Chain A
C-alpha cells in the first residue's frame, strides 16, 4: 500500500509544526487511518517529496505558489475539529 505523506510545516520544522503533526497523528489513529506525517521547514518543504502540506494560513500563502502539492491552511493548531475535517477531506479526495 502506498502511504500518503503529509508534511506539517512551520518556520524551522521543529516548533509549531510538531503541535500540528501530533494532532494529525492523533486524528489518524482515532480514525483508524494510516499516513506518514512528518515536520518540515518553510525553506526546504517544497523540495521534500510529500503528497500534501499542512501549515498555518500565513505560511500557506508563502508556500502555495512554490509547490505542486495541495497546501492546506490550518487556522488553529490546537483545534482538533478543524484539523480532523481537513485531514479526512484530503485523504478522501486523494484515494
Chain B
C-alpha cells in the first residue's frame, strides 16, 4: 500500500507557494448546479463545512455580507470571492474553488459569475500569503474563462498551473 497522504494534493510550477499548499484538490468542484448567487455561495461554502474548516453558520455570514455591502464580491468578470469577517465561524484557514454549470447573477456589473473562490480565515492576516498566491494564479489573462470551461477538477488544476 502506498503511503497515505492526509489529502490528495498536487504540484504546481514556479516560485512562491505551491498550489497544493493553498488549495486542496478535493476542495475544487466543477460544474456545480446553482440557481441563484446564494446557492453558489452555499455550494462553495459547503465544501469547507464538510471539511470541518468552517461552521455551517459561516456560510450564512458570507451571504449576509453580500446582502449588506452589495455584490462587490464579484471583483472581476465571472469571478466572485466569497468570504465573511475573519474569526467568527471559522475553524481553520481554508479555501475552496467551484465552477458553476450555469452562470448566476449577483447584481454586479461583472455578472454573470461562473467561478466562486471561497475562504475562511481565523484572523485578519494569517491567510494573506495564500490568498495573494491564488490571486496571482487567477489573474493571468483569460484564466477565469478557461476555469469556467474546465470539465473536470484535473482540468482546473491544469489551467491554474499553466
A43-66 toward B: CB 8 Å interface, digit per residue (1/0)?
Answer: 000000000000111110010000
A10 to B125, CA, bound (A): 15
Nearest chain B CB to A15 CB, angstrom units:
5
B70–A59 CB distance below 8 A = yes
Asked whether B135 lies within 8 Å of A14 as measured between CB atoms, the reply is: no
Chain B residues, CB < 8 A from A10: 72
Q: What total of chain B residues lie within 8 Å of the partner, measured CB to CB?
A: 32
| Residues in B whose Cβ lies below 8 Å from that of A11 | 65, 68-69, 72-73
The number of residues on chain A lying at the interface, defined by a beta carbon within 8 Å of a beta carbon of chain B, is 24
Residue B76 interfacial (CB < 8 Å)? yes
User: What is the 8 Å Cβ interface bit string for chain B, positions 98-142, against chain A (1 contact, 0 not)?
Assistant: 000000000011100000000101001101100110011011000
**Which of B11-19, B79-87, B150-158 makes up part of the contact surface?**
B79-87
Asked if B79 contacts A78 (CB within 8 A), the reply is yes
Q: By CB atoms of chain A within 10 A, which of B75, B76, B138 has the most? A: B75
Which of B69, B73, B76 touches A79 (beta carbons < 8 Å)? B76
* Closest beta carbon of chain B to A85's beta carbon, Å: 16
In contact, B86 and A14 (Cβ under 8 angstroms) = yes
Which chain A residues border B138 with CB–CB below 8 Å?
A: 78
CB-defined contacts of B65 to chain A, threshold 8 Å: 11-12
B136 to chain A, nearest CB (A): 7
Report B's interface with A, CB cutoff 8 A: 65, 68-73, 75-77, 79, 81, 83-86, 108-110, 119, 121, 124-125, 127-128, 131-132, 135-136, 138-139, 144
Q: Which 5 A-B pairs have the closest CB atoms?
A: A56-B72, A78-B76, A77-B75, A58-B70, A58-B72
